[in-house]
């Protein structure tokens, strides 16, 4: 495989500063390598499967777990696998707040246990031009939202990543404004393709892939699928998300995969599937146009990118 150039996979200002990061040589924190699971115990499979990737070849585990964007652990693609081992996912809790009738803080197992897990094979397309096909294990975000009864004022759902520089060494550096924040419009959050993942490849979600709880929105660029969630908030106004704040010309709120809207510094017309040599055409909405295009009917997707 011909790997993308570093300047193609990291925004230029961050690439120039990436070597300022302290490398944490503490080994690879893969679940498969260490056998260390989180407090969340997955039920025994097999799980019901929804194959939305149209039978495409699944990306090998070794690529999916060692080539990641997770700036909380460093800006190089190999950094998360090297540095995420220190993340403690036991005793994890998630706070739900804002415009809802049932706010509160729940332990992870209490948040997840009421929901039947299923496997979703989804394409993952990153804004830097690479892509994967991942078998996620999770449940619809809509099911969780309904438990907390959002009010009529809840137009957006906002997510926040854990902030803990001791465990997440990348947060010691002002590369981004921490903690990481992402959001969805309510109809996007309630769409049946949007899931909360707790595993992948039939195993507990590895730390470097967003353990113990991450969002997966398959028709959007990967940075929308926020990792290691500790807070969910319902609110009336559109949030200013982390990458919007860092580089508003390059990263919009919607972040829909769109080959017709180029990133200011590179084209989005092609992508390279990790593990393959040749590039392929980028699909509108990452190949999920039939399911989600109606959400944006009448919108100028060049303006609302």
Mean pLDDT of 161-183: 98
Mean pLDDT of 75-85: 97
3-state secondary structure of 246: helix
Q: For the beta carbon of residue 202, count every other beta carbon within 10 angstroms.
A: 12
Which pLDDT score is estimated for 51? 74
Mean pLDDT of 145-162: 98
CB 186 within 8 A of CB 237: no
How high does pLDDT run on average in the chain? 89
pLDDT band for position 14 (cuts 50, 70, 90) = very low
Residue 76, both tokens: 């190089």
Which pLDDT score is estimated for 17? 42
pLDDT band for position 35 (cuts 50, 70, 90) = very low
Residue 46, both tokens: 């097999």
Which pLDDT score is estimated for 286? 98
Length of the chain: 305
**pTM for this one?**
0.87
Which pLDDT score is estimated for 19? 36
Domain edges within the chain = 6-296
Residue 36: pLDDT above 70? no
Which pLDDT score is estimated for 50? 79
CB 266 within 8 A of CB 8: yes
Mean pLDDT of 113-127: 96
pLDDT in tens, 197-237: 999 999 999 999 999 999 999 999 999 999 999 999 999 99
Which pLDDT score is estimated for 2? 44
Mean pLDDT of 74-89: 96
pLDDT band for position 43 (cuts 50, 70, 90) = confident
Which pLDDT score is estimated for 39? 64
Which pLDDT score is estimated for 1? 45
pLDDT band for position 21 (cuts 50, 70, 90) = very low
Distance CA 42, CA 137 (A): 10
Dihedral angle sign, alpha carbons of residues 60, 161, 159, 179:
negative
Which pLDDT score is estimated for 53? 78
CATH code of the domain made up of 6-296: 3.90.420.10
Residue 7: pLDDT above 90? no
Q: 280-300 burial by CB neighbour count: b if 16+ within 10 A, else e?
A: eebbbbbbbeeebeeebeeee
Distance CA 252, CA 248 (A): 6
Which pLDDT score is estimated for 249? 95
Which pLDDT score is estimated for 210? 98
Instruction: Classify residue 115 by its DSSP letter.
Output: S
Residue 170: pLDDT above 50? yes
- With 0-12 / 13-18 / 19 or more C-beta atoms within 10 angstroms meaning exposed / middle / buried, residue 155 is middle
């Amino acid at each position: 495989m011909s790997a993308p150039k570093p300047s193609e996979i990291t925004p230029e200002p961050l690439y120039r500063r990436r070597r300022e990061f302290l490398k944490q040589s503490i080994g690879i924190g893969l679940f498969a390598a260490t056998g260390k699971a989180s407090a969340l115990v997955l039920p025994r499979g097999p799980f019901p499967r929804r194959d939305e990737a149209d039978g495409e070849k699944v990306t090998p585990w070794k690529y999916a777990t060692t080539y990641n964007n997770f700036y909380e652990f460093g800006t190089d693609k190999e950094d998360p696998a090297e540095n995420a081992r220190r993340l403690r996912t036991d005793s994890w809790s998630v706070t739900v707040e804002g415009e809802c009738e049932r706010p509160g803080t729940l332990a992870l197992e209490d948040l997840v246990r009421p929901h039947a897990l299923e496997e979703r094979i989804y394409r993952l397309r990153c804004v830097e031009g690479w892509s994967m096909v991942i078998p996620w294990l999770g449940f619809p975000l809509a099911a969780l939202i309904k438990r907390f009864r959002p009010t009529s004022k809840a137009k957006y759902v906002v997510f926040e990543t854990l902030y803990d520089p001791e465990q997440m060494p990348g947060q010691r550096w002002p590369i981004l404004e921490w903690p990481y924040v992402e959001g969805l419009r309510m109809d996007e959050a309630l769409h049946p393709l949007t899931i909360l993942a707790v595993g992948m490849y039939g195993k507990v979600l590895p730390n470097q892939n967003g353990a113990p709880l991450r969002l997966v929105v398959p028709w959007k660029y990967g940075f929308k699928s926020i990792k290691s969630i500790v807070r969910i908030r319902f609110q009336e106004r559109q949030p200013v998300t982390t990458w919007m704040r860092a580089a508003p010309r390059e990263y919009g709120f919607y972040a829909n995969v769109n080959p017709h809207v180029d990133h200011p510094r590179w084209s989005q017309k092609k992508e390279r599937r990790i593990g393959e040599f040749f590039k392929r055409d980028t699909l509108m909405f990452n190949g999920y146009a039939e399911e989600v295009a109606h959400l944006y009917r009448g919108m100028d997707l060049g303006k609302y990118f």
